[in-house]
Amino acid sequence: MKLVVISAGLSVPSSTRLLADRLAAAVHGHTPVDVRVVEVRDLAVEIAHQFTSGFPGKALAAAQDAVAEADGLIVVTPVFSASYSGLFKSFFDVLDKDALAGKPVLIAATGGSARHSLVLEHALRPLFAYLRAVVVPTAVYAASEDWGAEGLPERIERAAGELAALMPGTADRRAVDDGVVPFAERLAALGR
């Protein structure tokens, strides 16, 4: 199965990527997955260009294809100004609007303090609900202090287990209808 990780951290190394990698490893512990990590930072310019030109550059198109073919996604953003980062949101703004339909998604975020942890419920969960993804119940927030505290590994493990449990079912849901609606049917639907 294919697991795609979208990481929107900006620094190298980044705690966002660190959390993303731990989540991916935990999923792999539950069920064998091929992991592909998309660093949104590397696609920043192509994302901006897609806003202006309407089509993705080569690297961004490859990332979008990977998302479309994924059996599950882990998405991780740093918290900026009380929400996901603009670049993280932009990646999904230029994605095909049906690309995530029916796909299991694990949402996660990092921040400097625990005070922003509900960003997952107030910002990320509605975004992925709008995109018709199946968002796993446990979302994972890691504040700076969590990296030295108890609780984070357990939350990672629980969220990963939930994602892994949802992934085997996606192959069926993913059956995208590439077929054309015959024109006669379309005409008939208008009542003629």
Partner 1 sequence: MQFGIFSVGDVTTDPTTGRTPTEGERIKAMVAIAQKAEEVGLDVFATGEHHNPPFVPSSPTTMLGYIAARTERLILSTSTTLITTNDPVKIAEDYAMLQHLADGRVDLMMGRGNTGPVYPWFGQDIREGINLAVENYALLRRLWREDVVDWEGKFRTPLQGFTSTPRPLDGVPPFVWHGSIRSPEIAEQAAYYGDGFFHNHIFWPADHTKRMIELYRTRYAHHGYGTPEQAIVGLGGQVFMRKNSQDAVREFRPYFDNAPVYGHGPSLEDFTEQTPLTVGSPQQVIEKTLSFREYAGDYQRQLFLMDHAGLPLKTVLEQLDLLGEEVVPVLREEFAKNRPADVPDAPTHQSLTAAARKKEAVA
**Count of residues binding partner 1 (CB under 8 A)?**
18
Which one among 13, 148, 151, 183 touches partner 1, defined by CB under 8 A? 183
Q: In angstroms, what CA-CA distances link 173 with 6, 95, 124, 132, 169?
A: 21, 19, 22, 12, 7
**186 touching partner 1, by CB under 8 A:** yes
Fill in the per-residue mask, 4 to 43: x = in contact with partner 1 (CB under 8 A), - = not in contact: ----------------------------------------
Name which of 13 and 55 has its Cβ closer to partner 1.
55
Binding segment for partner 1 among 9-17, 36-44, 101-109, 176-184 (CB under 8 A)?
A: 176-184
Q: For the chain, how many residues are written?
A: 192
Fill in the per-residue mask, 53 to 82: x = in contact with partner 1 (CB under 8 A), - = not in contact: xxx-x-------------------------
Give the C-alpha separation, 56 to 83, whole Å: 25
Radius of gyration of the CA atoms of the chain, in A? 18
- The strand ranges marked E within the chain are 2-7, 34-39, 72-80, 83-84, 104-111, 134-135, 140-143
